[in-house]
Structure 1
């Protein structure tokens, strides 16, 4: 569950426009999905790889676009948050930090799948190199112990 929370926090912080309140007696905020759905317009593209998108005959739904954006946030989480993958026993580790190039990439993905708000537009307007992954190959199987994925499991997600 913690891994899913990381993706939600990334989207809340870097993609979601100011959370709106509903008119209930408790004053609860709308869900992340509902908030992002308000910023979504129909589109006919789906992400198939790091920077590859394919056209579809029929438009996607808000749910499909949200899932694509959520998966992108999870895919790049060490570079979009302060959360690092667990270190494999005796293996390599990644230092987690928010990197501008990955923020720009996430916002470009958001725009490509149909989301648009002030945060997305501002970050898309920034200059950012297209980050390329250079992860070392590992021959060990990637065992996920729950919580955040280990480095090798994170590598397989990519």
Structure 2
């Protein structure tokens, strides 16, 4: 952080929220706070570009792009399917986000299978107090894709 320069606090809180949510929901933090400090878009420091790309940047950018597309669809109302005729702008970002989530799900399913005692059915070896939302959902079902 450069002394004397303002930082974009809203972006910083967004990074914190992303880290907290991924840790709580998936048990895997994407560590977006490790990336470069967000300076306001009017600052020349914001145009210098990030020094390096990390996992959080690879996840957060498509996540934000998907949110923008979804909010645009909401604003367009019933007419939004017509805009998908030429190009579905949500396809690429959603595919990237799903790849991350599938990795988290696969790790959680593997962890669950490794913590079960042989022959004891669904009895877990470890205490559930460190359980995440994904751990709980995986304990209810082992199919990574549930179709309704």
TM-score per shorter chain, which class? Answer: under 0.3
Select the structure of larger CA radius of gyration: 2
| TM-score computed with the length of structure 2 as normaliser | 0.27
Q: Which one scores higher on RCO, CA 8 angstroms, separation ≥ 6? A: 1
| TM-score computed with the length of structure 1 as normaliser | 0.26
